[in-house]
Amino acid sequence: MGKGALGLLSAYWPEMTARHAHVPLERSSQFTVHRSATSDPDRIALATPERSVTFAELSDLVRRAAAGIAQRTGEGGRVAVLLDDPLSQAACAFGAWEADRLAFVASGPVPPATLADFAPDLVIARELAHAPPGVRVETPYTLSAEPVTFGKANLRTPVLVLPKPDRTGEVAHNHKTLVATAVAFSSFFMFEPGAEVVLLEPPTGWLGLAVMLAAWHRATTIRVAWTGDWAAHPDRVDYLAGSFAAADARYAGATPALRDVRAGVGAILGVEGPFSPSRRRRLARRLGTPVLTVYGRNDLGPVLGSHPTWYLDDAIGIPLPNVDTRPLDPAGGAELTIGWDAVEEAEIGVKSALAPAGGELSGTWLRSRMVGQVDPTGLYFVR
């Protein structure tokens, strides 16, 4: 970003939020689940239509899953978590990361070819019709073991793979990128202990993953809504989080407004390309709350967002903490030597501590392949 746009960005930058935030050198499970279990053990961490678990209970489930995964796989082992139960899915995914194993997470069965491409050493599933030859299959119940203490982790070793947006390959997160996402997302969107987040997306893509990491870093309760209506309606909901398309479809037409979103900040909705400001306004009226957007993809992570203290219908937002942007030539992706304050439109290039490895690079910048514009105050518009 050029000096002109960067200087004026302060007009919209949220108070009490660092532009570049410190990323602790910790395992992602320790920084999120276990830390909140220490500070707020009795607070609800995850609520599903069937049950709720506290941070203390979730921490124990994660430690037991990690021990069971470590017993069944060697160092550098690959674990496929194929579970539609949100609690089991989260416990096994965070357990795999704690054991420093590489995890692929899906909400239920996946095509045999997808599983074969990942080449897991262990599959965690309730049932699996087509298990790869020689691969061990476990259920969440048989996996549980007495917790063990793990040694120091290599925080740059991949622990999670996500599919690329075009499904031509995968991108990989390590502990450092997961912790960076938790720091940036929670501080930008002002997640606080005791807040309530209704999540429309499972943590199998960039948005659900970012919300879960950020919420559990700040001891914020997640109420699952991707399996249907969330359980035990609270007195208030501080955030509704999910993709813009999913929220638009779910609350379109005659569907009643989300009356529980009252005193809170509003809806955080993910977009991966151009969106209609008029649809955003209609959705905001139906929900009766501001609609905040966050732009990202599996190969970028969350990179731009509109903040709770302000939002404009036309703008995607401003860069999240620990995210820098640069104009690239849309024709070939080459870095432009001039800044955003000197060019009207360009491809958005991203340099981010939140981004997984495996995105398309142009020099040191990740290519978004989205042509955008930055106005004089630092707001991003996707064309």
pLDDT tens-digit series, residues 240-289: 899 887 777 666 543 344 544 544 568 899 999 888 888 888 888 877 77
Q: What does the pLDDT read at residue 298?
A: 97
On whether both 294 and 149 belong to a single domain, the answer is no
For residue 72, the 8-state DSSP code is H
Say how many domains are in the chain: 2
Give CA–CA dist 348/340, Å, rounded.
Answer: 10
Order of strands, sheet of 291-297, starting from the edge strand that comes earlier in the sequence: 52-54, 44-47, 221-224, 196-199, 239-243, 266-271, 291-297, 301-305, 318-319
Has residue 166 been placed in a domain? no
Has residue 159 been placed in a domain? no
On whether both 40 and 6 belong to a single domain, the answer is no
Q: What does the pLDDT read at residue 250?
A: 64
On whether both 178 and 272 belong to a single domain, the answer is yes
Give CA–CA dist 25/310, Å, rounded.
Answer: 32
User: What does pTM read for this prediction?
Assistant: 0.93
On whether both 39 and 8 belong to a single domain, the answer is no
On whether both 140 and 260 belong to a single domain, the answer is no
Residues of the chain with pLDDT under 70: 1-11, 228-236, 249-265
Has residue 321 been placed in a domain? yes
Element (H, E) at 325: strand 323-328
pLDDT tens-digit series, residues 80-103: 999 999 999 999 999 999 999 999
Has residue 160 been placed in a domain? no
Do residues 319 and 325 make contact, with C-beta atoms less than 8 angstroms apart? yes
3-state helix, strand, coil in the chain (%, to 5): 30, 25, 45
On whether both 147 and 102 belong to a single domain, the answer is yes
Do residues 293 and 302 make contact, with C-beta atoms less than 8 angstroms apart? no
Q: What does the pLDDT read at residue 251?
A: 61
Q: What does the pLDDT read at residue 160?
A: 98
Q: What does the pLDDT read at residue 6?
A: 52
Q: What is the CATH number for 69?
A: 3.40.50.980
Q: What does the pLDDT read at residue 244?
A: 84
- The full 3-state SS of 5-63, as one line of letters, equals HHHHHCCCCCCCCCCCCCCCCCCHHHHHHHHHHHHCCCCEEEECCCCEEEHHHHHHHHH
Of the three residues 127, 154, 181, the one that is the final residue of a domain is 154
Length of the chain, in residues: 383
pLDDT tens-digit series, residues 146-182: 998 898 989 999 999 999 998 888 999 999 999 999 9
Has residue 168 been placed in a domain? no
Do residues 328 and 343 make contact, with C-beta atoms less than 8 angstroms apart? no
On whether both 238 and 145 belong to a single domain, the answer is no
Do residues 283 and 249 make contact, with C-beta atoms less than 8 angstroms apart? no
What residue numbers bound the domain in which 249 lies? 1-25+173-383
On whether both 264 and 117 belong to a single domain, the answer is no
